[in-house]
Structure 1
Amino acid sequence: MPVDLVLFDCDGVLVDSEVLSARVLADEATALGYSLSPEDCLDRFTGISMAAVRTMIEADLGQPLPPDFEARIRAADQRAFACQLRPIEGVEAAIRALDCRRCVASSGSPEKMRFTLGLTGLLPLFEPHLFSASMVARGKPAPDLFAYAARQMRVPPAACLVVEDSVAGVTAAVAAGMDVLGFAGGAHCRDGYASMLRRAGARMTFERMALLPALVAQGR
């Protein structure tokens, strides 16, 4: 079946931000007495919303985090991104080569998406079609965000293709009835990462964005 809409995750698919965010989260959580390494953050929190991260940490701590925890994370992320964030290699050319519609469906907030995509020059390729977990009742791994984005774009799930880099995102796409490709080319992707995405339900994995236009053209 031809692909009418490609839904891109943002962090780790469009921008190479996952390692930077993991370092920030580890530092902020550890400063509050919850010891985490960046590797812990990548293993546990990749692909899920900051609200879900907060809930998980509070459950482990047995007490609420400070009210400004998420604001502190956002501010620290922005400082790190401003200095070090880069787009995924080859992603702009790959997006421009697509013959179908496209949007972003991310666990990040709309503000974060606009900031990171703006920094990397990718925002004009997607705006205004930016969809966030904050717009639905349940974030990834629930299917709500992908289903919502497809409805807003007026494309049936069977004609959608999701590009994801996380188990939570792949799981959400499969649950939404969409084809999904697993991207395993970000800086956070370690040995065995592609196999992990396939086990979660990705039909295929790839590590170079230059391959994406041909994969989309193949349909599902």
Structure 2
Amino acid sequence: MAKRLVVFDCDGVLVDSETLSAQAMRELVAAEGLRFSPADALALIRGRKVAAWVAELEQRLGRALPPDFVPEFRRRAAALFTTSLRPVPHVRQVLDELTTPFCTASSAPREKIEHTLGLTGLLPLFQGRIYSAYEVGSWKPDPGLFLHAARDTGVPAERCAVVEDSLPGVLAAVAAGMAVFGYAPPENGTAASLAAAGAVTFDSMTALLDLLAKWSSGLPVSASISARENALLQ
């Protein structure tokens, strides 16, 4: 039987970095005259290329941001990562127990991926299996990054499953012809939009192993599931 592959997004799926990145962005744009709530800041950047949300900020401002805005954003975010970054709850257990081959494919630069995985102790699990959009020249929602990961590992797209937390990521996986599981913790408020885009959603990593086990066995997985529902099924 042909092998399968699980493709994990990084930010927000493996490492709990997006809230910290949103904090860094909020602090910087406040000095430029823009105010965001934590939730709105997170919604703006989640799953998107930095250049895309920077362009949106400039459109709102009606002018260009300072030339050092992006380098300063990356510096502040990296400083927050060093002091406060943690793995997404329960994801280490998922990775330790997952028997299907897996990799990570992220819209972030490789240096950031390796830095955040290293800080959280996850990097050894992904050595040689890291794919960055910056190296492929394709950013979600374009499916190119996921298709590249599938080709590089020799797995047909239809036998790949993607674990994502963002709408661009879900759209990219669907466009690639891959199964997609949408991580949607209640505080994110994203379950409905991810499900509408084609994801099977779940609200805790404690539910993911069972979902992937069904998928890898070829069983239909069409209903979204919560951590509470998953516990009742045990």
Scaled by the length of structure 1, the TM-score of the pair is: 0.90
Check whether the contact 1:181–1:206 (CA below 8 A) recurs between aligned residues.
yes
Aligned length: 216
Whole-angstrom distance in 1 between the partners of 2:143 and 2:188: 27
Whole-angstrom distance in 1 between the partners of 2:84 and 2:2: 37
1:214 and 2:210 are equivalent in the alignment: yes
Structure 2: any 5+ residue segments left out of the alignment?
Answer: 219-234
For residue 227 of structure 2, what is the aligned residue in structure 1? none
For residue 199 of structure 1, what is the aligned residue in structure 2? 196
Whole-angstrom distance in 2 between the partners of 1:121 and 1:173: 27
Whole-angstrom distance in 1 between the partners of 2:172 and 2:34: 28
For residue 44 of structure 2, what is the aligned residue in structure 1? 44
Select the structure of larger CA radius of gyration: 2
1:51-74 CA distance string (max 9 Å, x none)? 222222223333322222211111
1:218 is paired with a residue whose SS is helix
Whole-angstrom distance in 1 between the partners of 2:166 and 2:204: 16
Check whether the contact 1:81–1:116 (CA below 8 A) recurs between aligned residues.
yes
Whole-angstrom distance in 2 between the partners of 1:41 and 1:120: 23
Report the alpha carbon displacement of residue 191 of structure 1 after superposing the two structures with TM: 6.5
Bigger shift: 61-70 or 125-134? 61-70
1:67 is paired with a residue whose SS is coil
Letter in 2 for 1:105: A
Report the alpha carbon displacement of residue 24 of structure 1 after superposing the two structures with TM: 0.8
1:131 is paired with a residue whose SS is strand
2:55 is paired with a residue whose SS is helix
- Cα distance change, pair 2–12 in 1 and its aligned pair in 2 (3 A): farther
Structure 1: any 5+ residue segments left out of the alignment?
Answer: none
For residue 20 of structure 1, what is the aligned residue in structure 2? 20
Larger RCO (CA within 8 A; separation ≥ 6): 1
Whole-angstrom distance in 2 between the partners of 1:65 and 1:90: 38
Report the alpha carbon displacement of residue 206 of structure 1 after superposing the two structures with TM: 1.4
Whole-angstrom distance in 2 between the partners of 1:93 and 1:54: 35
Letter in 1 for 2:152: Q
Percent of residue pairs identical: 47
Check whether the contact 2:184–2:202 (CA below 8 A) recurs between aligned residues.
yes
Scaled by the length of structure 2, the TM-score of the pair is: 0.85
Report the alpha carbon displacement of residue 112 of structure 1 after superposing the two structures with TM: 1.0
Report the alpha carbon displacement of residue 18 of structure 1 after superposing the two structures with TM: 1.6
Report the alpha carbon displacement of residue 34 of structure 1 after superposing the two structures with TM: 3.2
CA RMSD of aligned residues (A): 1.9
